[in-house]
Structure 1
Amino acid sequence: MDGTTWDHVDRLRDWLDAESAVTGDMAKVMRVLKIGEEFGEVAEALHGAMGTNPRKGASHTFDDVQKELCDVTITALIALASLTPDARKVFEERLQHIADRSLT
């Protein structure tokens, strides 16, 4: 599959738009809330990788944590692309702002 990250994000957003049972503002809300669900999966994987849940023990690896972090990132980018047609620009400007503030 060819394409840039943002091409994939746009295609996934379009797929969700076509397949989702909800539309409009509710679809946007659900996509933002999905970030929280994905974060929960990162937390679960981290607990599992560190073996901090005595009931489950070492149930995950740090590879699992990495994959779940990617899922959070992808979900957040799709949510952003669902909120604005200028998601790429909004993201790049925000990243630049944070870099300028933090790295200077």
Structure 2
Amino acid sequence: MKDAPDAAVWPTVDRLCAWLDAAAERPAEQELLLRVLKLSEEVGETAQAVIGASGQNPRKGYSHTWRDVESELCDVVLTAMVALRTLTPDAESVFTEHVRKVARRSLGPAPGTAPRTAPDPGPATAG
């Protein structure tokens, strides 16, 4: 049986933000922008790992493993969480609500809830 996956995630994100904030030498707005831009770096590292795991670069061959890709994807997720926490102290609730919205939009209503009906378009007009 697995431990609760999110048991310590957000407290860890809070601690990482505090650690970064303590070392910050720029205005808060710049720190936020740089933390968001850090996502591009992490996504690039993920792409590099995928290319290496699939051997797409003949000069480098198989330079990475799919475990490397997993690790890089985790870095992307964690970097995004840190950026979100830097943007808002309510990052956990913002993220949770966003996941709920995406789930409703993509998967429909949660089990045990009444399905949503389309709004009444009103009377038809002759055209």
Partner residue of 1:87 out of 88, 91, 101: 91
Give the distance between the partners of 1:45 and 1:21, measured in 2 at CA.
Answer: 31
1:66 aligns with 2:66: no
Name the larger-Rg structure.
2
Q: State the percentage of identical aligned residues.
A: 52
- TM superposition score normalised by structure 2: 0.78
Structure 1 stretches (4+) deviating beyond 6 angstroms? none
Aligned to 1:52: 56
TM alignment of 1:89-104, pairs within 5 A: 89-104=93-108
- Size of the aligned set, in residue pairs, is 102
Q: Is the 8 A contact 1:35 1:76 kept in 2?
A: yes
Aligned to 1:17: 21
- TM superposition score normalised by structure 1: 0.95
Give the distance between the partners of 1:46 and 1:5, measured in 2 at CA.
Answer: 26
Aligned to 1:33: 37
The structure, 1 or 2, with the larger RCO (C-alpha pairs under 8 Å, 6+ apart) is: 1
Give the distance between the partners of 1:57 and 1:22, measured in 2 at CA.
Answer: 40
